[in-house]
Every structure is written in structure tokens, then in C-alpha cells.
């Protein structure tokens, strides 16, 4: 008899695409671990069409951070499923993509170790406490400086990001392409997070 594999939902909110790419990479890792994966972009999908948690053994919820805040949709998703999550029958993973967790593209070490630790508290532990839930696993990941033509960032966001980067490049000795894409995520960190999540789901 063929046993159906565990099913996992990855529900995310992205503004400029970093969180979406992280979600897609986690999806690939989870599939390699033998799990069935469904991804949902919570902003693009109408809330009444958001999937129910019923068929899933685990759920990963991720958000982009701007001005210290989660996007509304992933927060609403967690609030909507709060009662089910609190029963602790499903494994919950939470993550964000934010500047505070960006890594040096050469060494893959956090650019700001103290900010990384604070981001975990501010962007995850405080959000969990506010909603009244506890994730089984959570982490913060970096993002991308994308100033290319294809960037999803509007003029205002590009301006905000560019303001900080000159200083950042000088202080930390990293090169940021002012007309292209500089990826400051640690893909090993992202894949190992997904693997740990998979092992919790398979237990
Ligand atoms: C307008 C703006 C505000 C931001 N505010 C913060 C912030 O408060 N804290 C932080 O750590 N990163 C901040 N960032 C960095 C983003 O969180 C980071 O670029 C992230 O990868 C965006 O995810 P997304 O591409 O999925 O939208 C900000 C970026 C922009 C453009």
C-alpha cells in the first residue's frame, strides 16, 4: 500500500519578491524531503480563497518586513487560524525577510549580528505573543537589494533603500550594485530551516 506523504502549506506575503523566493526555495527543499507542498501568495489570493489548514500536517507562514511591521495578510491568516494552531496538532513554522538579517554576500555571516537577534524578538516573538500563538520553529532571513529594471520596488522604496546603502557599503566593506541585484540572503540558512521543519512534520 502506498502511504500518502505529509502535506505542507507555505503561506506568505511579499512586497518586493524576497519572501516569495525564500518560500519557493523552502518548497523545493521540502519536496526533496518527500513532502507534498502547496504555496499561496496571501496578498495575490483573495482571503476567502485562502486554503483551509485541514488537509495539512504543517504550515509555514512568512512575511516581508517594512518599517518594523509584518504585512497585513499573513497576520490575518494566522489570526484566522489561531484556534486551530493553538490545538498544536499541526507543525507551525514562521519566518520573515528583513534588512536586519542580511548577510555578507562573501562570508554569509550576518552583517549585523545584534540586529539579527533583535529582529527575531521584534519580528517573530512579539508577533507570536500579540496574536497568542507559538511556532514550533521560527527564523529571520535577509533580503535582496534590487535596483534593476525588473525590481518590484517603486521609486519611494528604491530611494529609501539607496539612502542607507552608501554608508552600509563603506562601514561593512560590501559592494552593492546600485543598478542591479545584490542578494543578501543565506540560502544554506534557509534550506536548513526547511529541513528542520520537514523533520518536525515527519516525526
Ligand atoms: C520601505 C522599506 C522599509 C523597510 N523597513 C525595514 C525594517 O523596518 N526593518 C528591517 O529589518 N528591514 C526593513 N526593510 C528591508 C526589507 O524588509 C527587505 O528588503 C525584505 O527582503 C523585503 O521583503 P520582500 O522583498 O518580500 O518584500 C525595509 C525595506 C523597505 C523598502
Cell output for 199: 523533520
Looking at the structure, tell me whether residues 114 and 19 fall in a common domain.
yes
Q: Is the CB of 22 under 6 A from ligand 1?
A: no
Give yes or no: residues 75 and 91 share one domain.
yes
The secondary structure element, H or E, covering residue 11 is strand 7-13
Q: What proportion of the chain, given as a percentage, has pLDDT over 70?
A: 98
* Residue 67 beta carbon below 6 angstroms from any ligand 1 atom: yes
Q: Which atom of ligand 1 is nearest to the CA of 119?
A: 11
Residue 193 lies in a domain: yes
> Do the beta carbons of residue 145 and residue 161 sit within 8 Å?
yes
pLDDT at 2 exceeding the cut of 80? no
Task: Tell me, using a 6 A CB cutoff, whether residue 157 lines ligand 1.
Answer: yes
pLDDT at 4 over 70: no
Within a domain: 1: no
Same structural domain for residues 169 and 196?
no
Range of the domain at 128: 7-143+184-202
Residue 2 falls inside a structural domain? no
Give the chain's domain count: 2
Q: What would the mean pLDDT of 42-51 be, rounded to a whole number?
A: 98
Same domain, 37 and 90: yes
Inside any domain, residue 123: yes
Instruction: List pLDDT tens digits, range 90-135.
Output: 999 999 999 999 998 889 899 889 999 999 999 999 999 999 999 9
Quick check: CB of 16 below 6 Å from ligand 1? yes
Q: Is the pLDDT of residue 3 over 70?
A: no
* Same domain flag for 77 and 150: no
Q: How far, in Å, CA of 183 to CA of 157, rounded? A: 17
Amino acid at each position: 500500500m502506498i502511504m500518502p506523504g505529509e502535506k505542507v502549506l507555505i503561506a506568505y506575503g511579499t512586497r518586493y519578491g524576497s519572501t516569495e523566493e525564500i518560500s519557493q526555495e523552502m518548497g523545493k527543499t521540502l519536496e526533496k524531503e518527500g513532502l507534498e507542498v502547496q504555496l499561496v501568495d496571501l496578498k495575490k489570493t483573495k482571503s476567502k480563497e485562502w486554503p483551509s489548514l485541514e488537509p495539512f500536517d504543517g504550515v509555514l507562514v512568512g512575511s516581508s518586513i517594512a518599517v518594523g511591521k509584518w504585512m497585513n495578510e499573513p497576520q490575518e491568516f494566522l489570526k484566522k487560524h489561531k484556534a486551530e494552531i493553538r490545538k498544536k496538532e499541526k507543525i507551525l513554522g514562521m519566518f520573515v525577510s528583513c534588512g536586519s538579517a542580511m548577510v555578507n554576500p562573501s562570508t554569509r555571516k550576518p552583517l549585523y549580528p545584534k540586529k539579527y537577534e533583535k529582529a527575531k524578538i521584534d519580528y517573530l516573538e512579539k508577533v507570536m505573543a500579540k496574536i497568542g500563538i507559538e511556532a514550533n520553529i521560527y527564523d529571520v532571513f535577509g533580503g535582496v537589494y534590487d535596483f534593476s529594471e525588473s525590481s518590484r520596488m517603486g521609486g519611494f522604496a528604491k530611494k529609501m533603500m539607496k539612502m542607507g546603502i552608501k554608508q552600509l557599503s563603506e562601514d561593512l566593506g560590501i559592494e552593492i550594485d546600485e543598478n542591479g541585484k545584490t542578494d543578501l540572503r543565506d540560502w544554506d540558512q534557509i534550506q536548513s530551516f526547511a529541513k528542520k521543519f520537514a523533520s518536525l512534520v515527519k516525526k
